[in-house]
Amino acid sequence: MKIPFVAAVFAVIAGLFLSGAPAQAATGPAQTQYPIRSKQLTQNKLYKSGPLETVSCPEPAIESSVSSAKSYVKTLFNCLGDAWSAQFDKAGLRFSKPSLRFFTSKKGLRYCGSKWGDAAGIYCPRTRQFAVLLDKEILTDVDDLFLMDVVAHEYGHHVQQMSGIMRAYEYEPYHGKKEETEQTKRLELQAECFAGVFIGSVWDSLDRSEDDWQRLLDVVAMSGDETTKVKDHGRGSTQKSWLNKGFQSAAPGGCNTWAAPASRVR
């Protein structure tokens, strides 16, 4: 059984890390033990929609308080809605915006039918709502790009929902745990790549340096499956590589994790 929702497990940065491998274009036929059958996944219309229109999305100032973080997230959320709805129009796909809610503590928290767990954000496909956790841990370091990545990643799941990818993933057959986990990694890595696509498309309107981007890549590389109990989002180096691929391509066509060889979705 696939889980009913998919969480961004950007867990706390624990310690060790593999330095990330540079992003590589996935070319040639997929060499994978578990080929993906659904064309909805491997040849989705969204992949041919070209680069995201550049939208201007200046970041509001953010402080380590819940109210400030909320208004920061809301601003981003609106930019994401503008960027992706224009993209769906281009692709000839229907789009409606998700809703957003906040939590400030994960203690005893249940969302979308499950315990909250380690996630910083969770998208609930059933209600098309996503929730962002603004607890102490997240609020400690609000001036980096991490929160933006979390929000853009959850929005990436909504993009998957609206494009039929989420549903196709839920119905994609598998034989055993290993194959199911690989499919879940493809889904998660694609959401992370979509986050990179969005960040890439608004980059010029952000007052950010190359160092800020590198720092985000490092944080992502340090919060992979090596650091979490549930290992279905991919290694840190793999996540970093898809995030960067999305950023560099700034087009959803760069995020076809479903046709990538197994070595790119570990």
Binding interface with Zn ion (CB under 5 A): 6, 8, 188, 191
Specify the residue, 1 or 61, whose C-beta has the smaller distance to Zn ion.
Answer: 1
Specify the residue, 82 or 118, whose C-beta has the smaller distance to Zn ion.
Answer: 118
Contact 90, 97 (CB under 8 A): no
Residue whose CB is nearest to Zn ion in the complex, by number: 8
Query: At its nearest, how many Å lie between Zn ion and the CB of residue 132?
Result: 12
Distance, CA of 27 to CA of 111 (rounded, Å): 38
Distance, CA of 220 to CA of 13 (rounded, Å): 9
Distance, CA of 146 to CA of 120 (rounded, Å): 10
Query: At its nearest, how many Å lie between Zn ion and the CB of residue 229?
Result: 15
Query: At its nearest, how many Å lie between Zn ion and the CB of residue 173?
Result: 22
Specify the residue, 40 or 239, whose C-beta has the smaller distance to Zn ion.
Answer: 239
Contact 6, 184 (CB under 8 A): yes
Contacts (Cβ under 8 Å, ≥6 apart) of 38: 168, 169, 171, 172, 258
CA distances to 26, 135, 138, 167, 220 from 147, in Å? 28, 12, 8, 27, 12
Specify the residue, 68 or 264, whose C-beta has the smaller distance to Zn ion.
Answer: 264
Nearest to 256 by CA among 80, 55, 7, 30: 30
Query: At its nearest, how many Å lie between Zn ion and the CB of residue 92?
Result: 26
Query: At its nearest, how many Å lie between Zn ion and the CB of residue 85?
Result: 21
Nearest to 222 by CA among 102, 141, 159, 124: 141
Specify the residue, 90 or 170, whose C-beta has the smaller distance to Zn ion.
Answer: 170
Contact 102, 131 (CB under 8 A): yes
Specify the residue, 8 or 202, whose C-beta has the smaller distance to Zn ion.
Answer: 8
Query: At its nearest, how many Å lie between Zn ion and the CB of residue 77?
Result: 16
Contact 35, 144 (CB under 8 A): no
